[in-house]
Every structure is written in C-alpha cells, then in structure tokens.
C-alpha cells in the first residue's frame, strides 16, 4: 500500500434477523424453499394488503442497539423507499429513514498494531429485504423468486472510521460475533444472512476533506470483502495518481476476476422519494421495555474474553479465539468445567484438535461430532496418566469417527498407558542392548541421541509407555553404564 | 311472492331485516327481486361493474336454510353491494381500472368478511372512479355512472355506483370509501345518506389503497338507521390493519334515539362563503333551522385553516397514491403490456395503457411533491398544514358536539361539464376534505331539493363520535321526509 494516501472505509452491514416469520407478514423466513412458496399475499404486494410489524424484530434491534452502547429511539418511523424493480413487489421497500431505531453506537477493535480503536456506529435501522431475480433457466426472460421478500433486515451503518481492509474485516467479524451472541442473526454468509456494502475512498495523508467514495455492493465473504476493498483502494490511488478523478458510483466485486466494476453512477441513481409509511404507526418504545431487553442480554464477546483471561488465566490470544462465537465459548467452558486437566490444556484441545476437525469437515461447533463432556472425558485420561497426549490424539480421531467414548476406545484398543516402571525398564533394557553403537556415542557425549532412544522405546511399547517415565528411566540406565 | 311484499326494493335494510325475521318473504325472493332490479336498470345507470347473481342466489338459499335452523345473524339474508375496490374472493375486483380489469381477488377484505359473517348476500360490485380518484364517476374504465335523478348528470364520486344504486332503489345499502368526500359527496348528489367513519374505525385491509392516511370505508344507505345497522357490523379493530383502532364499538342503532335537544351544532363561516350555490345554501340553512327548532343550539365556530384543505389534500393524497399504485407494474397481476421489449418498456406501457388520465395526473403530481428538492416545500408543508387543520377541528369541538354545513357546493352537475377542468372538479370536495385530513367521522343526509335535485347536509363529529352524528341525522330524518323521496324514474 501507498504511504502517501490514507484510506477511509465505512461499512453498511445487512444482518438478516433470525425470526421465524417475516417483518410485515406471517410467511416463513426459512431458507432454500422452492421459489415463491414462502411469499404470502402481503409479500407479493397484492392490492389491498397491509403490513403489520413483527414485534420480534423490534426486540432484536433493541438488543443490538444496547449491545453496542447505542441510543435506542423511543420513537422510530418506517418510511417507504420508492423504486421500480421486478423483485420489489410493492414498488417500494419499507425501511427506516429519518428516524431509525438505533443511533450512535460504537465498538472497539484492535488495529494492525494491536492498538485499541473505536469505531462509531452511526445507526442501525430495520427494513424488509427484496426478492431475487433469477436469470438462469428462463431463456431471454428473468424469473422472480419472492421467498426472500419481506425478510427482516437490520442494516448497521458504521462511521467512516476504518482505515484499512484489515480493520474493516476486524470490525465486521466483531459485528458478526455480536449478532450471533445476541441470537438475532445466524450469521450465515453463504445464504446471505450477513452481507455488507463497503464505502471506500482515499485522500492524501494529512488532508481533512474526504475523497470521493465508491460503494462496493453485496459482499458476502470476509475474504472477498478484504480483496474487494484492497482492489478498490489500489484502483482509486492509481486513478488519482494518474491525474484522474474518482467517480461517485456503485461498483460490483467480481470474485472470479478479483476486480470491482462500475455498476451505476450515483448521478443516474434513483430519487427514492422517501416518506413515512402511512400504513404503519411509529414504533414507540418505553423505558421499561428497553430495560427488560437489557436484562435479557447475554454476556458479550468482550466481556467474556476478559472473564476467560481473568477466571481461567488463558492467554488473551487464546481467549479471543475461544470467544469468537458464543457456541465455541460455551463448548470450551463446558469442557473446562468437566475435566481434571489444566484449563490451558482444555483450551489447546478446543483451539487445536477440535477446531481442525471442524474445519476439515466445514461444520459448526454446534454440529461437532464430539460433545464437550466427551472431550472432557478424554482430557481426564491424559490428566490421570491413563494415556499420553499422543495416544489421546489417536483416541480423539476414533471418537470423531463415532467409535465411542474415550474410555471405551482405550479399553477396546488396549491403549492404556504403561506406567509400570519394571515393564518400561524391560523395554529400555532391550533397546539399549539392541543398539550398542548409539549407546557408546551417547555415553561419549552425544546427548541428542536421547531422542532416538525415546523414540525406539515408545515404538516398542506401541506408543503406550508413559513418556515421562521413559525419559527418566532411559537417562538413568544410559548414564549408569 | 307473498301479498304486500312486492317492491321490496323500496324497503330499508332495517325493514327488510324485520321482514325476513317475520317470515314475510325469503332471502331468495328478496335476492331474485333485487337482481331483476339491477338488471332492469344497469343500462340506464351503469352502477355495477360485476353482478354476482348465481353466487347471490346460493347465498340466499343458504341464508334461508340457516334462518330455518335458528340463525339470527344481524344481516342474515340481507343484500349488500361493494364498491369495486373491496377485495372479494373469487370475484373480479377492478377498482374501475383497466389495470385490474382481469384481477380476481384471492381473498376477502375485512369489511367483506365481517358483512359476510353477519349473513349478508353480495349482489355485485359497484362502479367507481378509477382507484377512487374522481368526484364524478367519469374516470371509471367502465364508463360513467349516471345520476338516477337525471341521466345527463353525474351521481358524484368516487362511490358513484354505490350511491346511484341506493338512490335508484335498487339496493337498500352499499359500501363505499371516502378519501376526500367519495361517500358523502355522491350521497349528497343522489339524495342518499353517506357515512364516512372515523379514520381507523373500519379496517382498511383488503380495500385497494388510494391514499392510505385518508381512506376510510363507510356506507351509503337511505336512512341513518340503516347506516347505523351496517356500521355496527363493519366497525372494529383488525389486527391486519395497524392503523385500525382498538376502540369499543357501541350499539349504533340503540344510540339513534338520542334527542337533538341540547345538541351544540357548530357552523363554520367559510362553509357559506361564495362558491356555495344559492339553492344549496337555502336548503342547508333550512335544515339547520329544523334542528334549532328541535332544541339544538347553533354556534359559530372558526376553522381558520380550512381554506387550505383542498391544496393540502392535493399534495398528501397524490403523494400516497403515487407510491400505493407502484405495485401495478404488470409483473404479478393485472394488466400487462403485450410483448415488452425490455423491463422499462414493460413498466411504461403497462402503466400507460392500464391507468387513465386522472390517475396518471395524480401519480405524476405525487411523484413530483415527494421528489428530492420539493419534498419540504410540498409534502412536508402539507403535513404541517394538515396538523393545523386537525388542531382547528379539535379546538372547535371543545365548544360544539357536531359541525354542520353543506356537503357539496352545488347539486349534481352534468357529465362532461368539469372533465377538462380538474381544479373545478377538485373544488367539489371543498367541504368534505377537512374531515379526511383530520380523520373525523362525517355524514351527509338529504335535506331537500334545489331545482329538483337533491341537496346534502353534512354533519362532522369528533373522533369516534359516529353515535352523535348518526343520532342527529336520524332525528332529522324523523322530522323530515327528504330521504323518502326517490327519483320518479325509479319509483
């Protein structure tokens, strides 16, 4: 990146609220149904129908507002955003415009240098999603699927406080984590439940006035967002350094080509003719309701992270990973509380083996094939020296494959650790006897060969000998010579 | 037919209810008789867009059977017709527009549901100004309705079909909707009773929207008593309409007996300014004199901003309509242009072909007043004036129980007379629009004739004071018989 330029980024994050029914109708919001089977007459914008606000979306928006220290509006108003598009049945989208439900929040991220940085959240407003245009399978025509029409969205708008693609991703991950903690969004980016538009501009370092921005639309993976923003930054700098001007426009990111392309310029953009929707009353909230919601808030990622460091004496970096999702944190805590093993060992296993296994199958912690209690049971066998850490990994794999609990597998496979000193001595003696050359070298001062002997002993024992005891006995016997 | 029950079409809803209850005739007999009446006069009046004869007879038989089994539902077996913007399941619902000329509603409006649940028999759907935009019924895609009092004259609008059908003694009662006077003005011009309830009193669910913050469903009948009977069935909270109000529904019929004596009636100076035809002024003043004679007090009240109601209305209503009518795009229902070249062509031709001139004019006006740069000067300012007008009414009602005056500035005017001059046409609603802007209930009652044409007296009450204005109208009808005088051609 170029040091002469400062990057300014603001994000508009669209989170799909995890309600059972739509924001203004009783139709289901479930994903993936056959086209147009989950759109009722209200979603279809039939003549004469009227919207009725789903109270659940208000509760969810308030939750979010409180979680980011925002002002929850006592009175917010739904407005109509008017434009024509085939996937917008009524010819207007019901959204909040002048009076959103949430304003003036903030959250803190760590920047590239590890410093804390406050990111302002301008507002978060409720709105309905549009349907989808389907361009394949209809020849010259376009198909319309209105299942998504009327799905509730909370659009979270940040201040232009982000200074790099990395910071933007960090901020977005944090919002992702918060909405999932709150249980208001499933965070599924592939299904579009969590997506964002990025407003990107650059300005000469030291200049106060913001540069002309472009808006990159509909980014639905963290990786693409970072790539798209970085591409856009480079592009804008190149334009400006070439003596040109950045044009205020909307751009689309093409992940295949890794580039952004102009979609429409803001000058040709619609005049949306916003006005308050006369079919809906203003949303009026009293202090009691807001307090009631506040009391229902779960422990949030930052607080949990602090507690993990404090209570479990975890490394902050580990605590951060463990608190990224509430489900992972809960899993970890369940393991930690049910095992005799050290908490850090539990953390290592969750972050290491378990996370790797989940990743390799691309599944969520909630679908883990090893339950927290079972993992705790495995760690208990390490703690009480029934097995070594190495054997534990083998057992872990067996457990993952559904072969049963740790104890059953240890029993069935005879993996119980050998801790009988005389048994280990017997193997050690045999190894020493079989390798006279190496013994001589070791005794001649080549200490590094200890590893060789340990390896042989472990191999002879089928990996079951207690490694600590093996070390101890080997050292003693080798030096005895 | 049983002796003494011919000319059932002249009976009031209340009398028909009693007749059915007493077994003087069956719903089938009644329904057949009214269907014949519709048929006989459709060519002359053009009051109906759709007649549901077969379904009506089935319903009538079912109602007779239910009654035999002890069903005493309030409207069991009684006839009703709906202005053609109430969605009726399985029945064409056109809004008087080409764009919905093929639209068969898949559901019933709440009003239809409630009236059906009370046992009424739907005979058909009445003609109207396209999307309720008009004051003469001339903007209908289905052609104008003619006034039963004179076929060259307009019955008013937009609920012109409903008003004409009731005035011509074809049906005793019809539903209508009133956004700026669309129930009261045609009632005045046809010599019928037109009641627009308080905004939020009757659910708007299933009423095709014109201007959502002003639209209200109501009734056209020949007597206040019938209006009370029907309103009682229609009124009430509906969770499907967020703007409907959860306010108890009183027994409007029982409330009719409340005497006029002691009633404080407000008179608005501006309502008698120039613009009001002399014959109308004379009849309205005579009506006020009758009420005074009966013990009411007439008090002059001031509505300082009422002169701004027409311009305010013609910003707010088009703004809302421009958005409400966006859904008619040829994509999901209704008219769709043939062989569109592309999306823009589909939109432009569908809407240009589907909407008539007046609807297009209002969509354009509304789009303009909501546009960036004009919003504050028009829409926002209009909303502020609307607030002022509401406050004026509120203040006036601190001193009076009802406000009385003319419903319309003139009697019925000739078809074609005002079509080239929208402003003059818009001024027809000058006395009625205030009640819509303030969300107040209003009723028009026949109060005599000027040059042989009916004149309407309008009574406006505070929010949810339907009982008061109905009682006042009813008492007036006990003292006069204007409402009983129908057009000779249809006697």
CB contact under 8 A, A279 and B208: no
Query: Can you tell me the mean pLDDT for A346-356?
Result: 94
Both tokens of A358, joined, read 């989940």
pLDDT digits (tens, 9 = 90+) for A269-301: 679 999 999 999 999 999 999 999 999 999 999
Smallest Cα–Cα separation from B439: which of B254, B221, B244? B244
CB contact under 8 A, A47 and B327: yes
CB contact under 8 A, B103 and A47: yes
- Please tell me the predicted confidence (pLDDT) of residue B143: 98
Distance of CA B366 to the CA centre of its chain: 23
- State the residue for tokens 């409340």: B258
Query: CA B352 to CA A251: how far, in whole Å?
Result: 33
Residue A180 sits at the chain B interface (C-beta within 8 Å): no
CA-to-CA separations, A299 to A308, A309, A330, in angstroms, rounded:
12, 15, 11
Report pTM.
Answer: 0.90
Q: Specify burial of residue B391 (Cβ count, 10 A radius: 0-12, 13-18, 19+).
A: middle
Cβ atoms A48, B208 nearer than 8 A: yes
pLDDT digits (tens, 9 = 90+) for A53-83: 999 999 999 999 999 999 999 999 999 999 9
Query: CA B443 to CA B467: how far, in whole Å?
Result: 11
pLDDT digits (tens, 9 = 90+) for B439-448: 999 999 999 9
Q: Is A165 left (phi over 0), alpha (psi -120 to 50) or beta?
A: alpha
Residues ≥6 apart with Cβ < 8 Å to A153: A14, A15, A16, A17, A23, A126, A127, A128, A129
Q: Is the pLDDT of residue A6 over 70?
A: yes
Alpha carbons within 13 angstroms on the beta-carbon side of residue A380 total 16
CB contact under 8 A, A273 and B327: no
Residue B326 sits at the chain A interface (C-beta within 8 Å): yes
> Which of A6-10, A404-408, B32-36, B349-353 has the least mean pLDDT?
A404-408
Query: Can you tell me the mean pLDDT for B465-478?
Result: 98
- Please tell me the predicted confidence (pLDDT) of residue B3: 44
CA-only gyration radius of chain A, Å:
29
- Please tell me the predicted confidence (pLDDT) of residue A481: 58
Both tokens of B319, joined, read 């703004």
B158 prior amide bond cis, ω within 30:
yes
- State the residue for tokens 């060969």: A449
- Closest B-chain CA to A93: B323
- Please tell me the predicted confidence (pLDDT) of residue A411: 82
Cβ atoms B148, B45 nearer than 8 A: yes
- Please tell me the predicted confidence (pLDDT) of residue A413: 81
CB atoms under 10 Å from CB of A476, counted, come to 11
Query: Can you tell me the mean pLDDT for B33-57?
Result: 98
Query: Can you tell me the mean pLDDT for A223-227?
Result: 92
Residue A49 sits at the chain B interface (C-beta within 8 Å): yes
CB contact under 8 A, B323 and A273: yes
Cβ atoms A291, A277 nearer than 8 A: no
pLDDT digits (tens, 9 = 90+) for A162-209: 999 999 999 999 999 999 999 999 999 999 999 999 999 999 999 999
Give the closest-approach CA distance of A204 to chain B in angstroms: 32
Task: Specify whether B116 is catalytic.
Answer: no
The values of phi and psi at residue A291, to 5°, are -65, -40
Per-window interface: A 74-103 vs B, CB < 8 A? 80, 82, 84, 86, 89-92
Task: Specify whether B323 is catalytic.
Answer: no
The CATH class of B5-304+395-490 is alpha beta
Candidates A52, A80, A89; nearest CB to B239: A52
Residues ≥6 apart with Cβ < 8 Å to B40: none
Query: CA A144 to CA A36: how far, in whole Å?
Result: 8
Query: CA B96 to CA A237: how far, in whole Å?
Result: 58
- Closest A-chain CA to B368: A273
Task: Specify whether B83 is catalytic.
Answer: yes
> Which of A42-46, A73-77, A321-325, A465-469 has the least mean pLDDT?
A465-469
Candidates A50, A271, A281; nearest CB to B204: A50
Smallest Cα–Cα separation from B201: which of B110, B86, B127, B105? B110
- Please tell me the predicted confidence (pLDDT) of residue B2: 42
Distance of CA A50 to the CA centre of its chain: 37
pLDDT digits (tens, 9 = 90+) for B164-180: 999 999 999 999 999 99
- State the residue for tokens 């539902």: B73
CB contact under 8 A, B206 and A48: yes
Residue B395 sits at the chain A interface (C-beta within 8 Å): no
Q: Is the pLDDT of residue A144 over 50?
A: yes
CB contact under 8 A, B105 and A51: no
Sequence-separated contacts (24+) of A348-351 with Cβ below 8 Å: A348/A318, A349/A375, A349/A379, A349/A396, A350/A322, A350/A375, A351/A318, A351/A321, A351/A322
Query: Can you tell me the mean pLDDT for B121-145?
Result: 97
- Closest B-chain CA to A87: B331
Residues ≥6 apart with Cβ < 8 Å to A155: A12, A13, A14, A15, A95, A124, A125, A127
Q: Is the pLDDT of residue B114 over 80?
A: yes
Q: Regarding predicted confidence, which is higher, B2 or A28?
A: A28
Both tokens of B173, joined, read 């009662």
The residue count of chain A comes to 481
């Amino acid at each position: 990146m170029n040091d002469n330029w400062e990057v300014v980024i603001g994000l508009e994050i669209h989170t799909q609220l995890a309600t059972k029914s739509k924001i203004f109708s009783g139709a289901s919001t479930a994903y993936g149904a056959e086209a147009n089977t989950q759109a009722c007459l209200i979603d279809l914008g039939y003549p004469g129908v009227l919207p009725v606000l789903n109270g659940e979306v208000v509760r969810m928006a308030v939750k979010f507002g409180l979680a980011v220290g925002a002002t929850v509006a006592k009175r917010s108003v739904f407005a109509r955003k008017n434009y024509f598009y085939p996937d917008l049945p009524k010819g207007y989208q019901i959204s909040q415009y002048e009076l959103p439900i949430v304003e003036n929040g903030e959250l803190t991220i760590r920047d590239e240098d590890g410093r804390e940085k406050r990111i302002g959240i301008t507002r978060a407003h409720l709105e309905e999603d549009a349907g989808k245009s389907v361009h394949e399978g209809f020849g010259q025509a376009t198909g319309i699927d209105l299942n998504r029409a009327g799905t509730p969205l909370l659009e979270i708008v940040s201040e232009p406080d982000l200074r790099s693609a990395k910071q933007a991703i960090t901020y977005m991950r944090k919002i992702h984590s918060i909405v999932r903690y709150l249980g208001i969004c499933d965070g599924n980016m592939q299904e579009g439940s969590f997506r964002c538009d990025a407003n990107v501009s650059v300005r000469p370092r030291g200049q106060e006035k913001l540069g002309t921005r472009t808006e990159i639309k509909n980014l639905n993976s963290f990786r693409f967002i970072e790539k798209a923003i970085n591409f856009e930054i480079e592009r804008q700098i190149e334009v400006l350094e070439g003596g040109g001007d950045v044009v205020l426009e909307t751009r689309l990111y093409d992940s295949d080509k890794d580039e952004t392309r102009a979609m429409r310029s803001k000058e040709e953009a619609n005049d949306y003719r916003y006005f308050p929707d006369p079919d809906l009353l203003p949303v009026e909230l009293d202090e009691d309701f807001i307090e009631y919601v506040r009391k229902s808030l779960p422990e949030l990622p930052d607080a949990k992270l602090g507690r993990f460091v404090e209570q479990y004496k975890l490394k902050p970096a580990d605590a951060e990973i463990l608190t990224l999702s509430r489900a992972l944190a809960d899993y970890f805590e369940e393991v930690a509380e049910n095992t005799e093993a050290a908490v850090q060992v539990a953390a290592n296993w969750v972050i290491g083996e378990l996370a790797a296994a989940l990743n390799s199958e691309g599944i969520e912690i909630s679908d883990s094939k090893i339950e927290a209690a079972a993992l705790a049971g495995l760690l208990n066998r390490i703690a009480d020296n029934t097995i070594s850490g190495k054997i534990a990994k083998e057992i872990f794999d067996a457990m993952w494959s559904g072969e049963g609990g740790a104890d059953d597998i240890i029993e069935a496979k005879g993996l119980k650790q050998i801790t009988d000193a005389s048994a280990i001595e017997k193997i050690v003696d045999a190894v020493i006897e079989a390798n006279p050359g190496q013994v001589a070298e070791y005794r001649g001062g080549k200490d590094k060969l200890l590893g060789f002997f340990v390896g042989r002993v472990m191999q002879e024992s089928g990996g079951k000998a207690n490694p600590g005891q093996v070390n101890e006995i080997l050292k003693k016997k080798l030096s005895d010579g | 037919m049983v002796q003494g029950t011919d000319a059932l079409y002249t009976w009031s809803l209340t009398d028909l209810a009693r007749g059915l209850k007493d077994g003087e005739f069956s719903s089938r007999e009644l329904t057949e008789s009214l269907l014949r009446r519709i048929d006989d006069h459709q060519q002359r009046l053009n009051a109906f867009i759709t007649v549901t004869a077969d379904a009506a007879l089935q319903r009538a038989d079912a109602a007779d059977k239910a009654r035999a089994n002890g069903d005493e539902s309030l409207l069991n077996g009684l006839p009703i017709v709906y202005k053609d913007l109430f969605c009726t399941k399985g029945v064409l619902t056109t809004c008087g527009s080409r764009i919905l000329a093929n639209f068969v509603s898949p559901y019933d409006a709440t009003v239809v549901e409630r009236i059906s649940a009370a046992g009424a028999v739907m005979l058909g759907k009445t003609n109207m100004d396209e999307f309720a935009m008009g004051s003469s019924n001339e903007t209908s895609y289905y052609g104008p309705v003619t006034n039963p009092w004179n076929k060259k004259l307009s019955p008013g609008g937009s609920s012109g079909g409903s008003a004409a059908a009731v005035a011509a003694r074809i049906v005793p009662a019809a539903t209508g909707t009133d956004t700026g006077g669309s129930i009261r003005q045609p009632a005045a011009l046809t010599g019928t009773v037109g009641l627009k309830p308080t905004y939020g009193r009757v659910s708007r669910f299933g009423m095709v929207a014109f201007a959502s913050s002003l639209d209200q469903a109501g009734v056209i009948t020949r007597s206040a008593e019938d209006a009370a009977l029907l309103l009682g069935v229609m009124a009430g909270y509906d969770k499907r309409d967020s703007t409907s109000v959860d306010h108890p529904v009183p027994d409007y019929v029982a409330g009719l007996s409340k005497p006029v004596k002691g009633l404080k009636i407000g008179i608005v100076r501006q309502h008698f300014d120039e613009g009001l035809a002399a014959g109308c002024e004379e009849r309205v003043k005579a009506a006020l004199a009758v009420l005074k004679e009966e013990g009411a007090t007439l008090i002059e009240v001031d509505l300082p901003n009422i002169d701004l109601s027409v311009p305010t209305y013609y910003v707010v209503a088009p703004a809302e309509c421009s958005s409400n009518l966006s859904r008619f795009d040829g994509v999901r229902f209704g008219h769709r242009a043939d062989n569109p070249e592309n999306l823009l062509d589909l939109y432009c031709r569908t809407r240009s072909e589907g909407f008539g001139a007046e609807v297009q004019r209002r969509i354009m006006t509304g789009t303009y007043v909501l546009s960036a740069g004009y919003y504050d000067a028009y829409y926002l300012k209009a909303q502020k004036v609307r607030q002022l007008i509401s406050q004026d009414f509120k203040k006036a009602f601190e001193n009076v129980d009802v406000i009385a005056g003319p419903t319309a500035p003139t009697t019925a005017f000739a078809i074609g007379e005002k079509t080239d001059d929208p402003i003059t046409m818009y001024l027809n609603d000058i006395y009625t629009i205030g009640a819509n802007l303030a969300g107040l209930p209003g009723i028009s009652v026949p109060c005599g004739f000027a040059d042989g044409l009916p004149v309407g007296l309008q009574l406006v009450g505070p929010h949810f004071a339907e009982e008061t204005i109905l009682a006042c109208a009813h008492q007036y009808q006990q003292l006069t018989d204007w409402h009983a005088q129908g057009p000779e051609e249809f006697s």
